[in-house]
Structure 1
Amino acid sequence: METTAIQAMNAQELTKKIINNEELFILDVRNTTEFASWRIEGGKTEIINIPYFDLLDGIEPALTQIPGDQHILVVCSKEGSSIFIAEQLAEAGMNGIHYLEGGMKAWSEYLWPVKVGDLKDKGEIYQFVRMGKGCLSYMIVSNGEAAVVDTLRMTDVFNQFAKDKGVQIKHTLDTHLHADHISGGRHLANMNDATYWLPPKDANEVAFAYEALEEGKQIQVGDTSIIIKPIYSPGHTIGSTSLIVDDHYLLSGDILFVESIGRPDLAGKAADWVADLRTSLYETYKNLSPDLIVLPAHFGKAAELGAGGKVSARLGDLFVSNAGLNINSEDEFRVAVTEQLPPQPNAYQEIRQTNMGRITPNEAEQREMEMGPNRCAIHDR
């Protein structure tokens, strides 16, 4: 009997379907624990989980749950299991069967670039959306130069984007010492003979040289009037530093998100940093212009994606809509940011050590350390 050929769907194609709200049915064949912790979501996707080993004796359990009028995407961790199950579905006569190329590992690493807006002097700012993990990086471009903020470890993406734009990367900045993902900022700076900036209060144990990212300093991009101004905003970490770009955008790091606020516990100092977090949000941020456009370092769920996949919000609007900015009692705030928090990110201690330059895991180890959602907010993804 002739069977319908299966097709690969890569992470970029999947991202487009989610952003364009196209219907897609996903069969995730990872084990139930992995699925419960982290899955593909967003747009008009519908997803079910039937572990691979439950389908080895026959795919009948899947056939009764899969619609016959939609494209079907089979997903596993690395790709191999999804290809096998996709082939079984095709042999059973189902059409429109795809598998996720590279599996969830590829999904975790794909970056979707989207233009945020224009800056003075013909400058531009871009956001890189890591759809599978909820991380956000930024590139500020002006007059042949670029600065990259909260760089992810997939540095080739940033180098290629800069090349396509005809600009040279002159600065890389981390708003804080990250605990959910491995920073590519230092590596990207070394590759481009650029300056790497890091808040000094997060750098007590780092094993490398850096430029201190401190309030009062100004970072110029492209010999123009486009300035990056650091604003000290501790609480997620003791060194957390926000960035005001071109007096219009607020890169909030992991202090403030569109639907939540940062957690203070990833360095084991939650009790010490609660007051700092509240001061940063309720005083420092409250005194900034409400018209600033907030660009966070993470998002929690696909619902936060706006037009084209962009994640942003007006600061004044967040003081109305974000529950984390509307906790009147200091005691209630302390409870909210220290108790009943979501699980901590996968391998976060090892990730912090890597970002300090204290350990040097290989590529496969880095990929494994980063698997799963970011979990930097007080509310789970």
Structure 2
Amino acid sequence: MAVTAWNAADVAKRVIEKKDVFVLDVRNEDAFADWKIESDSFTYKNVPYFDLLDGVEELVPELPKDKEILVVCAKVGSSQMVAEMLADEGLDVAYLEGGMKAWSEHLEPVKIGDLPGGELYQFVRLGKGCLSYMAISNGEAAIIDATRMTETFTSFAEEKNVTIKHVFDTHLHADHISGGREIAEKTGASYWLPPADAEEVVFDYEKLTDGTSVAIGETTIGINALYSPGHTIGSTSFVIDNRFLLSGDILFIDSIGRPDLAGKAEDWVGDLRETLYTRYRSLAEDLIVLPAHFMIMDEVQDDGSVQEKLGVLFKENHGLNIENEEAFRSLVTENLPPQPNSHQEIRQTNMGRLNPDDEKKREMEIGPNRCAVKA
């Protein structure tokens, strides 16, 4: 029978469309338990590759006959070999090109809405839970929270025939490597970073402070900065066109940001509460919240986007509804998930103090997103 190669975009399409796929993951059990392709419509079976070296005959009866079967491994070699073995046993199967490394790096652009003279796009990194943005107006573009897959953004700008003028990071990231500075260097754009997060950086940048307003496309739309500390001391949100709130890692759809990735949980939990319960409460409730991450697939809508009105989150997000300050402090400081893989090295890389090669960067980022606190 046939063996088919699926790329990450093929898998992303099936995740977004909620297709019924059976995933045979042949990585080690601990790797599978830590991180896998997430979809509510997928079913999974984990059988380490080394357990299949003597053949797949005993496995075949356990595989469905009425679903697409996708074999997954870390890079690609093991899954391709297992897929070929299953095909020899009479099954139609696919394997994931590039494995989980490719899945981690895939970005799916989704249009969020129209802007005067342009559009706002969200780039969804399904395999890592990262969300990046590109605001376009009258031939110019601004990028917010770009990942290290910089070619995706520059190619998209070329496709849209726009010039990248500004690149922003809402904070100094600790879970993934930013592509902001690299994009700015490639395109001549201005690179903006909150100075409170940038005390140790070794490169020049534009200081992103509370009230900073940057025009895109002949002043048609404004990107307005709102100082919103708590995840980091410099965390900054953006209000775009008075319609969209880009909340960085402060507020997510189903959770709130964690304050400890620079080792400051007890110090910054008060800042986090002040941002969520005072600064954000002063904003219009019809703003569309667009976070820099999502934690679970339930946060991804049918069109592949991650968004919700601020007023809805005030009602439904538990992290915004803890009246007692001590209870809030306990929730945030006592329910912290494990810290992201290599988070200290990632922060040092985003400061410009480390310069790992591409393969090392991939290794540093492997694993699930862990930027939120969930009750």
- TM-score, structure 1 normalization: 0.97
Find the residue that maps to 1:275 and give its secondary structure: helix
CA distance in 2, matches of 1:11, 1:52: 21
1:376 aligns with 2:368: no
- Partner residue in 1 for 2:282: 287
CA distance in 2, matches of 1:85, 1:189: 43
CA distance in 2, matches of 1:43, 1:36: 16
- Partner residue in 1 for 2:47: 50
1:344 aligns with 2:349: no
2:183 to 179, 188, 192: 188
CA distance in 2, matches of 1:52, 1:307: 34
CA contact (8 A) 2:21 2:41 kept: yes
Cα deviations across residues 283-324 of structure 1 (Å, max 9, x unaligned)?
Answer: 000110000000000000111111320000000000111111
CA distance in 1, matches of 2:69, 2:323: 47
For residues 44-193 of structure 1, what are the structure 2 equivalents within 5 Å?
A: 44-95=41-92, 97-120=93-116, 122-193=117-188
CA distance in 1, matches of 2:120, 2:10: 24
- Partner residue in 2 for 1:36: 33
Give the AA of the match of 1:283: T
CA distance in 2, matches of 1:357, 1:194: 18
1:304 aligns with 2:299: yes
- Partner residue in 2 for 1:256: 251
CA distance in 2, matches of 1:59, 1:331: 55
CA distance in 2, matches of 1:235, 1:62: 49
CA distance in 2, matches of 1:36, 1:263: 22
How far is the alpha carbon of 1:43 from its aligned partner? 4.3
For residues 4-43 of structure 1, what are the structure 2 equivalents within 5 Å?
A: 4-43=1-40
- TM-score, structure 2 normalization: 0.98
Find the residue that maps to 2:112 and give its secondary structure: strand
Give the AA of the match of 1:24: V
Find the residue that maps to 1:291 and give its secondary structure: coil
Find the residue that maps to 2:59 and give its secondary structure: helix
Give the AA of the match of 1:367: R
CA contact (8 A) 1:232 1:242 kept: yes
How far is the alpha carbon of 1:94 from its aligned partner? 1.4
Unaligned runs of 5+ in 2: none
Larger mean CA deviation between 278-287 and 325-334 belongs to: 325-334
State the Cα RMSD in Å: 1.0
- Partner residue in 2 for 1:314: 309
Unaligned runs of 5+ in 1: none
How far is the alpha carbon of 1:370 from its aligned partner? 0.6
CA distance in 1, matches of 2:280, 2:190: 27
Find the residue that maps to 1:274 and give its secondary structure: helix
CA contact (8 A) 1:22 1:43 kept: no
1:216 aligns with 2:178: no
Find the residue that maps to 1:286 and give its secondary structure: helix
CA distance in 2, matches of 1:9, 1:314: 35
Find the residue that maps to 2:74 and give its secondary structure: coil
Find the residue that maps to 1:298 and give its secondary structure: coil
Find the residue that maps to 1:125 and give its secondary structure: strand
How far is the alpha carbon of 1:54 from its aligned partner? 1.3
Give the AA of the match of 2:96: L
For residues 220-235 of structure 1, what are the structure 2 equivalents within 5 Å?
A: 220-235=215-230
1:245 to 219, 240, 246: 240
How far is the alpha carbon of 1:341 from its aligned partner? 1.5
CA contact (8 A) 2:2 2:91 kept: no
Find the residue that maps to 2:352 and give its secondary structure: coil
How far is the alpha carbon of 1:123 from its aligned partner? 2.0
Find the residue that maps to 1:309 and give its secondary structure: coil
CA distance in 2, matches of 1:94, 1:161: 38
CA distance in 2, matches of 1:144, 1:352: 33
CA contact (8 A) 1:129 1:310 kept: yes
CA distance in 2, matches of 1:108, 1:250: 26
CA contact (8 A) 1:343 1:375 kept: yes
